Amino acid sequence: MGKWTRRGLIAAGVLTGGAFAVGVGIREGHRAPRLAGMVAGEGETLVNVWVKLAQDNTITAIVPHSEMGQGVFTAMAQMLAEEMDADWEHVTFEQAPAHEAYANYPLGKGYLLGDIRVPGLVADSLNGGMLRVAQNMSLQITGGSTAVRFTGQTGMRVAGAAAREMLVRAAAREWGAPAAEIRTEKSHLFHDASGRTAPYATFAAAAGAMSPPVQPRLKSREQYALMGQSAKRLDIPAKVDGSAVFAIDVDLPDMAYAAVAGPPVFGARVTRLDDAAAKAMPGVREVINEGDFVAVVADGYWRAEQAIAALDIAWTQTGRETLGQDAIYAQFRTDMARAVETGQEQRDVRSGDARGAAAAASQRVEAEYSVPYLAHAAMEPINAVAHVKDGKVDLWIGHQNPLGARDAIAKALGYDRHAITVHTCFLGGGFGRKSEADYPIMAVRIAQRFNHPVKMIWSREQDIRQDFYRPATTARVIAGLSEDNMPVSWDYQFVHKNDPVEATHIPYAIENQFIHFAETENPIRFGPWRSVDHTQHGFFIESFIDELAHAAQQDPVAFRRTLLVDKPRHIAVLDAVAEMSGWGRPMPDQRGLGVALVESFGTIVAEIVEVDASGAVPRVVNVWAAADAGFVVNPDGFTAQIESAVIYGLTAALYGNISVENGAVVQSNFHDYPMLRMDDAPAIAVRIINSDANFGGGGEPGTPPAAPALANAIFAAKGQRIRALPLAGGGRLA
Amino acid sequence: MATLTVNGEARTVDVDPQMPLLWAIREHLKLPGTKFGCGIAQCGACTVHLNGAPVRACSVPLSAADGGEVTTIEGVAGQDGALHAVQQAWIDVQVPQCGYCQSGQIMSAVALLRDKPNPTDADIDAAMRGNICRCGAYGRIRAAIKAAASQTPSRAAGGSNHG
């Protein structure tokens, strides 16, 4: 895109050789003035893309991720400040503008293009996941638990180290001292031999004029002072006094408010609209029939929503008007059976001869599992504020992929993408829902009919019924046990292959494996949901391993341990969680402990649930979790993410059920899509294991083990095997 | 036309008296700290104090609040700007994640501690079960309420300055 191509950045003298990893060295008046203008305030010098040094010696981490609760700004700032030897008391953060220069996969991009030298220090951090995301060019995405793993490791730390080196060099030149004699501490430079000292800001301009080092030296773990510390989150003070600005809080002059109604059956279009009653309401400005949805624009949101309720809308027939949830599951079974009968299985993993081994085994174990659709139900309902004027679009939004949203708007509505500015706000929860482009496009479609800004807010009912859902899926597993009660085969069939690709893989050493899926139509739109495919496969795999352990008359922890060949990290988390929970202790009647172990997004998490299964709905009393994410940058923040993920997973296991009847989503709000609340929230204990393996993610990996650990605990408590979720509401746990 | 005392200040709002208090607070009084979550009093994100009692502002018509005293999250801190003990405990325990529900959580907790300066776990369950947190910060909310309760009783029990 013009001079802002990668090459343009290099040509600007900012990114030379392998310095892509270092980020952009830039300052006001630089040949890259547009970027400087976007982030540099008066009197500030932008040393590189990820660090800004003000004249008052404040250091700002410019974070190319969205804050949706995961503490990303703080962890990113810690990684930057660590390498920069910054004074943490004077480190702050800023959301990076939605601009290619802030794309958070520059390394992956450069690696793919093949003409960028990747510094050896960071090349180790490149892996398949990063490259895959980079291939998609899905820039600036917050999701996949990538912030610390990729942006932090390859961006923030390298940027911080480079900035520090440049400041040292600038001071060395000015002071006439060898750089090796200059030390840095708390955002100050010291030359002990001459007694000279200066704050970083003194040399900000001089450093900004320097070319960044090709391979800045990163600290080793023994040198960490900030990383590994539970720094208080930088965004929390604004979240206790009401001052944090979410998109729904944006207030602009002359702003109007929009409420919307989408089709009950996905894909339907408006055939008839009677808006007489709505238009008669005071404060209603316009009723807009966009074909695929209807919007009412009014002086206030409440009036707009009232007017929506007064509309009489008829929708086209899509052919799915009689579709029901039972038929969807039946279709899965039919298509799975057909795939096996016709040999049309889509191969995922194949080693050895799983079916032959099962036929020859002394014991055969088989089970079928299913999970329903799930909505995300972030606390902040979907919303966005758009202002279209003179062909330019300004959009205020909480979005996990602001650049992607911008490009989607440009493509869908024919704008030059540089005419679109996305102002990213705090997200009141995201969980994957807010990576979709539907609602940014809708907001602009409404706003482009007016000269004034329009705030579009979805009712909770729209938010639940117009989601992109964690898919309903079914899996069938068949395993053979040998005479000595060891599994010899694993035949695992499922429907719907999404991401991550490895979510269906097992860590257990079973010789003959056939992991495969059947093509089937899933009529409800799919979206990533916290940990994506790991949610269902974690439940299927870890439930079935538990069934195998019982079939083999072995302790579920010991059974897993035996099968974790050459998996010392997995064994360590398993041992840790067993020890935390007092695994093996005698339990009262109707109480049980259940275990599950899932690696996802580079982090291995084992959880043990203690359940009281005496009531109609099981009560989760305690949860213990042990996690190995390689090295945890902010232990308290990571702990909070695991706690959060446990609650998210348990909520789904206990209550989460989006069902389809007459082609439409049945549930609409928290009364029929219930959430785990304070009085049924378990105590959660988290132990972090720093194995020094590659950095893993934090936001998602705590979710997948929660449901199977609960199901396995129920089996331990009362001998009832749970093969379908949710536990409550569906009458599945009589 | 409704007349309210909002965070200690007399305010008038000239809108439909059936408008829920939530939207009058957010759109007309320009106090956006009180959040919209569900619209049917199921999630607690819109919790404010009306005449001292925690209410779900999404389901209270403005007419029912006419002449009353309303305290929102913006009015919880002291006149000098000092954080309420509950707010400080929220920071100390690092409660918020996305933060969207926390205005409502804090308003419920402030009311709880004013009525019961040393709440039991059952008290906390009863007072807080109307507030959903999708980030699942329940354990930290409970810990922060206990931390706030252990502060000087007068401060924690003093409640809001305006409610």
Q: Which residues of chain B have pLDDT under 70?
A: 152-163
Domain spans in chain B, listed from the N-terminal domain onward: 2-75, 85-157
- Residues A330-368 have pLDDT tens digits of 999 999 999 999 999 999 999 999 999 999 999 999 999
Instruction: Give mean pLDDT, residues A62-74.
Output: 78
Rounded Cα distance, A299 and A701, in Å: 43
Chain B residues close to A679, C-beta within 8 Å: 125-126, 128-129
> Distance of alpha carbon A448 from its chain centroid, rounded?
31
Lowest mean pLDDT, pick from A52-56, A218-222, A322-326, B134-138: A52-56
In 3-state terms, what secondary structure has residue A635?
Answer: helix
Considering the domain A2-231 in this protein, what is its CATH number?
Answer: 3.30.365.10
CATH for the A326-373+469-718 domain, from 3.40.640.10, 3.30.365.10, 3.40.1050.10, 3.30.420.40: 3.30.365.10
Contact with chain B for residue A302, Cβ under 8 A: yes
Phi, psi at A237, each rounded to 5°? -50, -40
Rounded Cα distance, A476 and A686, in Å: 32
* A326-373+469-718 matches A2-231 in CATH topology: yes
Check CB contact under 8 Å for B33 and A243: yes
| Dihedral (CA of A548, A554, A558, A563) sign | negative
Check CB contact under 8 Å for B94 and A640: yes
Contact with chain B for residue A372, Cβ under 8 A: no
Contact with chain B for residue A248, Cβ under 8 A: yes
Lowest mean pLDDT, pick from A81-90, A400-409, A490-499, A586-595: A400-409
Closest Cβ–Cβ partner in A300, A379, A381 for B27: A300
pLDDT at A37: 43
The CATH class for the domain spanning B85-157 reads mainly alpha
- Residues A555-565 have pLDDT tens digits of 999 999 999 99
Nearest to A419 by CA among A411, A429, A427: A411
Nearest to A647 by CA among A702, A587, A714, A586: A702
CATH for the A247-318+382-457 domain, from 3.30.365.10, 3.90.1150.10, 1.20.1440.130, 3.40.50.2300: 3.30.365.10
End-to-end CA distance of chain A: 61
Check CB contact under 8 Å for A300 and B23: yes
Contact with chain B for residue A480, Cβ under 8 A: no
Check CB contact under 8 Å for B97 and A676: no
Name the CA radius of gyration of chain A, rounded: 27
> Between these two residues, A290 and A113, which has the higher pLDDT value?
A290
Kindly report the nearest CA distance between residue B10 and chain A, in angstroms: 20
Check CB contact under 8 Å for B99 and A378: no
Domain spans in chain A, listed from the N-terminal domain onward: 2-231, 247-318+382-457, 326-373+469-718
> Distance of alpha carbon A634 from its chain centroid, rounded?
17
Rounded Cα distance, A311 and A289, in Å: 11
Instruction: Give mean pLDDT, residues A245-256.
Output: 98
> Distance of alpha carbon B24 from its chain centroid, rounded?
16
pLDDT at A132: 31
Tokens of A131: 């490259």
pLDDT at A24: 35
Q: What string of H, E and C letters represents the secondary structure of A251-302? A: CCCCCEEEEEECCCECCCCEEEEECHHHHCCCCEEEEEECCCCEEEEECCHH
Contact with chain A for residue B143, Cβ under 8 A: no
Chain B residues close to A683, C-beta within 8 Å: 139
Name the CA radius of gyration of chain B, rounded: 15
Mean of per-residue pLDDT scores for chain A: 85
Nearest chain B Cα to A67, which residue? B98
In 3-state terms, what secondary structure has residue A103?
Answer: coil
pLDDT at A192: 97
Tokens of B58: 């999404």
For chain A, what's the residue count?
734
Contact with chain B for residue A428, Cβ under 8 A: yes
What H or E segment, with its residue span, contains residue A350?
Answer: strand A346-351
Percent of chain A having pLDDT more than 70? Answer: 83
pLDDT at B38: 98
pLDDT-derived band at A99, boundaries 50, 70, 90: low
Closest Cβ–Cβ partner in B34, B43, B96 for A239: B96
Instruction: Give mean pLDDT, residues A527-542.
Output: 96
Contact with chain A for residue B32, Cβ under 8 A: yes
- Residues A124-137 have pLDDT tens digits of 222 222 323 332 33
| pLDDT at residue A16 greater than cutoff 60 | no
Check CB contact under 8 Å for A240 and B87: yes
Contact with chain B for residue A640, Cβ under 8 A: yes
Contact with chain A for residue B131, Cβ under 8 A: yes
Lowest mean pLDDT, pick from A105-109, A197-201, A600-604: A105-109
Kindly report the nearest CA distance between residue A89 and chain B, in angstroms: 16
Nearest chain A Cα to B142, which residue? A678
> Distance of alpha carbon B102 from its chain centroid, rounded?
9
Mutate to test the interface with A, among B6, B18, B35, B94 (most CBs of A within 10 A): B94
- Residues A23-51 have pLDDT tens digits of 433 333 333 334 444 443 444 333 335 67
Chain B residues close to A457, C-beta within 8 Å: 36
Kindly report the nearest CA distance between residue B67 and chain A, in angstroms: 22
Contact with chain A for residue B82, Cβ under 8 A: no
Closest Cβ–Cβ partner in A237, A427, A675 for B98: A427
* B85-157 matches B2-75 in CATH topology: no
Kindly report the nearest CA distance between residue A530 and chain B, in angstroms: 11
Check CB contact under 8 Å for A669 and B37: no
- Residues A418-471 have pLDDT tens digits of 788 888 899 999 999 999 999 999 999 999 999 999 999 999 999 999 999 999
Mutate to test the interface with B, among A67, A74, A239 (most CBs of B within 10 A): A239
pLDDT-derived band at A149, boundaries 50, 70, 90: low
Q: CB–CB of A494/A474 below 8 Å?
A: yes
Kindly report the nearest CA distance between residue A379 and chain B, in angstroms: 6
Rounded Cα distance, A560 and A245, in Å: 46
Nearest chain B Cα to A464, which residue? B38
Q: CB–CB of A477/A367 below 8 Å?
A: yes
Instruction: Give mean pLDDT, residues A665-687.
Output: 97
| ipTM of this complex prediction, to 2 decimal places | 0.94
Nearest chain B Cα to A69, which residue? B98
The domain over range B2-75 is classified in CATH as 3.10.20.30: yes
